[in-house]
A and B are shown apart, each in its own frame.
Chain A
């Protein structure tokens, strides 16, 4: 067992192994077992997330200085050990069970997944509760963010190096204005809320199969919805800019007229559209414009 555990932090089990190491009574270790269904044809998204958290927990135990043979982490996949599932009368995955070294598993040895969620920290508290083994969860640092930043800096640096004879583009107002606008639009369309709360992209009604992109309440939003709002805000802004350009630029008259009409059209159309979305979300709001 120790050998396996040193090779892989989570031991994969099938029916035979389960009976041999978990069910056989004389044991001096406890087992924490995740029952799951990771095969792609099972389409269990929750299992995959839970598995990641479980791996984090097991790894922090495996590489911690307090690593002993008191606790082992293992997982049983439905497609490899369906007989185990039948043996334990289990019909949902993922499930976390603790098998104590002595005696039968009690009710509290089943982890309350619905209530506590499957964050590794919560799991660690539960394990500490059951086995008296304190595990400090150490998440592998997320390299994606710094890597991306580094990559971005490298690209910018490379560009600057390639065009080192002509640094004019640093003084290009359009670039700066455009990036400032992007930032403002991202913020005003509530992307920060998405970042903190993590809402779903859109909601699919399971019974009718209809996909709704707009959340019905004014207290919440979908990601898709914020993208729509971002586009609408950008369109109104562009309309205002076009209106001004039409009046001041020195192109020929026909083009300017078209710009002007397009500008006012953009402002009116997208603002009234935005207003109608707002009205649908904010119940009891009485006003609308052009479209209800």
Chain B
């Protein structure tokens, strides 16, 4: 449940008060930028005088790419500078834990790893259920560094892996855009992707997640694919397959590649752009890619079984048939009949292809309605605000790039158009797939900007270089990219440009250039602001700001996890909601019942049922699951909105899905249909285990003189049940700001007491517990 999408309410405070630290960082990055632009301007000036501009060209592009890497790397370090070198959020903790396992026990041990500390009592076969690319990459880097006697801890490798790979991503984006359009657009695209928030959101330092390396693999695979379609050489295709193999090992999003490339081939066939190059490239790619992808244990035989891979197989067959018919056509003469035949075949294939797409689409859609998937905040559709927030100016300009690409179509621009259209569709359906849209938006915006600059900047430069140098102070790498453009491109378009020169005149041109550069500058500022405010919080350590700008660090999570680690039995089993499973396993090193790998819905529903039943019923469930401790997150003291009471309705819904007889969502609402924790709240809610554990002894606490005791700051309400008594649980630990509360589950009572005479009557009473409890409640409220 990694909440990447910025929640404006919770980020509000920090966004208002973090101005000071932000401007400091902004300055440092502009300093870097100025250096870059000076180098660029110098190069641009000199290249005119030199007889061999090729050397300057490569020097410039190296410099610009290096600076883009550096800028991308440093803008991802906000979290490390503000907090420390720490793994973020939820999933990264699991990745870190398994990487640690890999480095200490070796690769084969990792592949065979059966983790008995997760999903108690089921356990989890880790080696067969992960994409191992990330762990292997980090482990390899760690191994090489240690071989060179550079001793670093594996944690630091994990923290800095994603920022380093962002540089590789920008280089592969440069290569891909260069193949599609020209070198200038490539450099612009590299600079865009280095700092665009849509990609930074998944690759800040500390977010050690699959996506961080997968976007690099995605872009590089596409680059090699375009290259192999262009050249038709088996060499590039094999490279493409290897890169695809790396992508399969890194991220489940490889399905996007294995559908987009066949789609490209199919559309090329429809456009009658079939050529021997396409035939060679696709046939090689499909066979070798298929064999390689099946080597990953988690993928296994899926590529020949499941529906989302069938499109690739269908296109492969179609291509063979088409090529065979082409061959026949060369031999035979009845062309009329054959063209009809082609038409029939391609229409049939198209229908099959579309129905497959439709099936997968409906499959995805059905998944949206299962509560556990719907409960994850990343699986929501995307509003226009998120598009603008993550892409800023690029989202408005990339349709222009798409326009230019379609107007000047060729084989590889067909590819980028399909890439854009499919990615924008998926990004609209699900917020997290914004990640796959971001690279293509960067590329196409770069095309749009580059073609504007090509016409407006180049000629001004010819006559007077000073204005360009002025503007280069304002914007860094992009400008350098444009200078570069001029050096490379002017020669080709001399005739066109001379015509244009006479018309538009230097004034209009320089105004246009200045305004465009201002837009780009605003983009850079926006990216830094968004990165600093929305995407650089580790969410394991929280920070709050006082009115004078000083900062409080709330380290409750780690405090509680270390308490668990130090004070409980090594094999103690901790029950919590699934969000915290990976963190408990990673930081506290204790056995958990459910975690973020939500593979077993009924197990999660059981935990949800325990949380939402009354204490007696919950005790039964906890006894049957051997629970020793229960951990909950409670934000009522400091006003933390992501706590368990706010997630509680999802627990109820998931529990209701599996146990509709015992749990009903409507019981937790007031008759008016509201979810309230104060006196007006429903009695079932006020007596369920989660409520009791959250507010145990909270009624004695007065936070503020203006509010009554037991005032919940997150929900702004005075709690309705202040006198909470726990029978089967006892409080074991509560962290400094009450953010984490841990309860110990008591053992069964001693035999003496149980054999007491009253026991038989007790047992009969327990049948009516639910009613009884609600009566009790009425006594309390009176």
Given contacts A114-B672, A219-B383, A220-B383, contact A274 B396 (CB under 8 A): yes
Q: Which residue of B lies closest to A284 (CB)?
A: B15
Residues in B with CB closer than 8 Å to A7 are: none
Select the stretch in B131-139, B423-431, B561-569 that faces chain A.
B423-431
B512 touching A260, Cβ below 8 Å: yes
Given contacts A233-B395, A237-B397, contact A187 B424 (CB under 8 A): yes
**Total A-B residue pairs with C-beta atoms closer than 8 Å?**
174
Q: Which residue of A lies closest to B670 (CB)?
A: A115
Cα distance, A256 to B515, chains bound together (Å):
18
- Considering only residues 149-207 of chain A, those with a C-beta below 8 Å from chain B are 173-174, 176-177, 180-181, 183-185, 187-193, 195-197
Verify if A247 is at the interface (C-beta below 8 Å from B).
Answer: yes
B511 touching A232, Cβ below 8 Å: no
Q: Which residue of B lies closest to A243 (CB)?
A: B452
B503 touching A256, Cβ below 8 Å: yes
Cα distance, A185 to B400, chains bound together (Å):
11
Residues in B with CB closer than 8 Å to A287 are: 522, 525-526, 529
Residues in B with CB closer than 8 Å to A229 are: 384
Verify if B448 is at the interface (C-beta below 8 Å from A).
Answer: yes
Cα distance, A243 to B16, chains bound together (Å):
38
A188 touching B402, Cβ below 8 Å: no
Given contacts A180-B402, A287-B529, contact A261 B508 (CB under 8 A): yes
Q: Mark A271-292, 1 if CB is under 8 A from B, else 0.
A: 1001000100111111101000
A248 touching B455, Cβ below 8 Å: yes
Verify if B66 is at the interface (C-beta below 8 Å from A).
Answer: no
Residues in A with CB closer than 8 Å to B7 are: 219
Give which listed residue, B400, B424, B511, contacts A237 with CB less than 8 A. B400
Verify if B385 is at the interface (C-beta below 8 Å from A).
Answer: yes
Residues in B with CB closer than 8 Å to A289 are: 518, 522
Give which listed residue, A173, A197, A225, A232, contacts B407 with CB less than 8 A. A173
Given contacts A192-B429, A236-B397, contact A271 B382 (CB under 8 A): no
B396 touching A236, Cβ below 8 Å: yes
Verify if A112 is at the interface (C-beta below 8 Å from B).
Answer: yes
Residues in A with CB closer than 8 Å to B494 are: none
Cα distance, A185 to B395, chains bound together (Å):
9
A193 touching B397, Cβ below 8 Å: no
Verify if A3 is at the interface (C-beta below 8 Å from B).
Answer: no
Cα distance, A274 to B505, chains bound together (Å):
30
A282 touching B403, Cβ below 8 Å: no
A235 to chain B, nearest CB (A): 9
Q: Mark B648-664, 1 if CB is under 8 A from A, else 0.
A: 00000000000000000
Total contacting residues, chain A, CB less than 8 A:
64
A180 touching B406, Cβ below 8 Å: yes
Cα distance, A155 to B464, chains bound together (Å):
56
Cα distance, A250 to B500, chains bound together (Å):
8
Verify if B780 is at the interface (C-beta below 8 Å from A).
Answer: no
Residues in B with CB closer than 8 Å to A114 are: 672-673
Cα distance, A79 to B428, chains bound together (Å):
46
Most A-side CB within 10 Å, residue of B383, B385, B518: B383
Most B-side CB within 10 Å, residue of A183, A197, A218: A218
Cα distance, A164 to B407, chains bound together (Å):
24
Select the stretch in B46-54, B386-394, B474-482 that faces chain A.
B386-394
Q: Which residue of B lies closest to A239 (CB)?
A: B400
Cα distance, A188 to B381, chains bound together (Å):
11
Verify if B12 is at the interface (C-beta below 8 Å from A).
Answer: yes
Q: Which residue of A lies closest to B429 (CB)?
A: A192
A238 to chain B, nearest CB (A): 8
Cα distance, A195 to B361, chains bound together (Å):
15
Give which listed residue, A173, A226, A243, A253, contacts B384 with CB less than 8 A. A226
Residues in A with CB closer than 8 Å to B526 are: 287
A184 touching B456, Cβ below 8 Å: no
Verify if B576 is at the interface (C-beta below 8 Å from A).
Answer: no
Most B-side CB within 10 Å, residue of A244, A261, A281, A283: A244
Residues in A with CB closer than 8 Å to B455 are: 243-244, 247-248
A126 to chain B, nearest CB (A): 11
Verify if A75 is at the interface (C-beta below 8 Å from B).
Answer: no
- Considering only residues 610-627 of chain B, those with a C-beta below 8 Å from chain A are none
Q: Which residue of B lies closest to A185 (CB)?
A: B399
B666 touching A221, Cβ below 8 Å: no
Verify if B421 is at the interface (C-beta below 8 Å from A).
Answer: yes
Verify if B502 is at the interface (C-beta below 8 Å from A).
Answer: yes
A264 touching B384, Cβ below 8 Å: no
Most B-side CB within 10 Å, residue of A176, A193, A278: A193
Total contacting residues, chain B, CB less than 8 A:
64
Cα distance, A112 to B451, chains bound together (Å):
61
Q: Which residue of A lies closest to B511 (CB)?
A: A264
- Considering only residues 258-272 of chain A, those with a C-beta below 8 Å from chain B are 260-261, 264, 267-268, 270-271
Verify if B461 is at the interface (C-beta below 8 Å from A).
Answer: no
Give which listed residue, A112, A187, A264, contacts B425 with CB less than 8 A. A187
Cα distance, A246 to B421, chains bound together (Å):
27
Verify if B370 is at the interface (C-beta below 8 Å from A).
Answer: no
Residues in A with CB closer than 8 Å to B452 are: 240, 243-244, 247
B477 to chain A, nearest CB (A): 20
Give which listed residue, B15, B16, B406, contacts A176 with CB less than 8 A. B406
A190 touching B428, Cβ below 8 Å: yes
Cα distance, A112 to B387, chains bound together (Å):
39
Given contacts A188-B395, A221-B385, A264-B515, contact A244 B404 (CB under 8 A): yes
Verify if A257 is at the interface (C-beta below 8 Å from B).
Answer: yes
Verify if A106 is at the interface (C-beta below 8 Å from B).
Answer: no
A271 touching B519, Cβ below 8 Å: yes
B108 to chain A, nearest CB (A): 45
Residues in B with CB closer than 8 Å to A285 are: 15, 529
Residues in B with CB closer than 8 Å to A274 are: 388, 396
A237 touching B403, Cβ below 8 Å: yes
A181 touching B403, Cβ below 8 Å: yes
Given contacts A187-B425, A248-B500, A257-B504, contact A278 B381 (CB under 8 A): no
A241 touching B529, Cβ below 8 Å: no
B397 touching A240, Cβ below 8 Å: yes
Verify if A116 is at the interface (C-beta below 8 Å from B).
Answer: yes
A173 touching B397, Cβ below 8 Å: no
Cα distance, A270 to B395, chains bound together (Å):
13
A219 touching B8, Cβ below 8 Å: yes
Verify if B669 is at the interface (C-beta below 8 Å from A).
Answer: yes
Residues in A with CB closer than 8 Å to B393 are: 271
Verify if A210 is at the interface (C-beta below 8 Å from B).
Answer: no
Most A-side CB within 10 Å, residue of B8, B417, B425, B672: B8
Q: Which residue of A lies closest to B398 (CB)?
A: A184
Verify if B756 is at the interface (C-beta below 8 Å from A).
Answer: no
Residues in B with CB closer than 8 Å to A268 are: 515
Q: Which residue of B lies closest to A181 (CB)?
A: B399
Verify if B747 is at the interface (C-beta below 8 Å from A).
Answer: no
Query: What are 15 of the A-B contact pairs (CB < 8 Å)?
Result: A184-B398, A185-B399, A192-B382, A233-B396, A237-B400, A241-B400, A243-B456, A244-B451, A247-B500, A257-B503, A267-B515, A274-B396, A282-B385, A285-B529, A289-B518
Q: Shortest 8 CB-CB distances between A and B: which pairs?
A: A247-B455, A192-B428, A240-B400, A177-B406, A236-B396, A190-B384, A253-B503, A187-B428
Contact residues of B with A, CB < 8 Å? 6-8, 11-12, 15-16, 368, 381-385, 387-389, 393, 395-400, 402-404, 406-407, 409, 417, 420-421, 424-425, 427-429, 448, 451-452, 455-456, 496, 499-500, 502-505, 508, 511-512, 515, 518-519, 522, 525-526, 529, 666, 669, 671-673
Given A176-B406, A278-B385, output 20 extra A-B contacts at Cβ < 8 Å. Answer: A177-B402, A177-B407, A183-B421, A184-B402, A187-B427, A190-B381, A190-B382, A192-B429, A226-B384, A236-B396, A236-B397, A247-B452, A253-B503, A257-B503, A260-B504, A271-B393, A278-B389, A284-B8, A287-B525, A289-B518
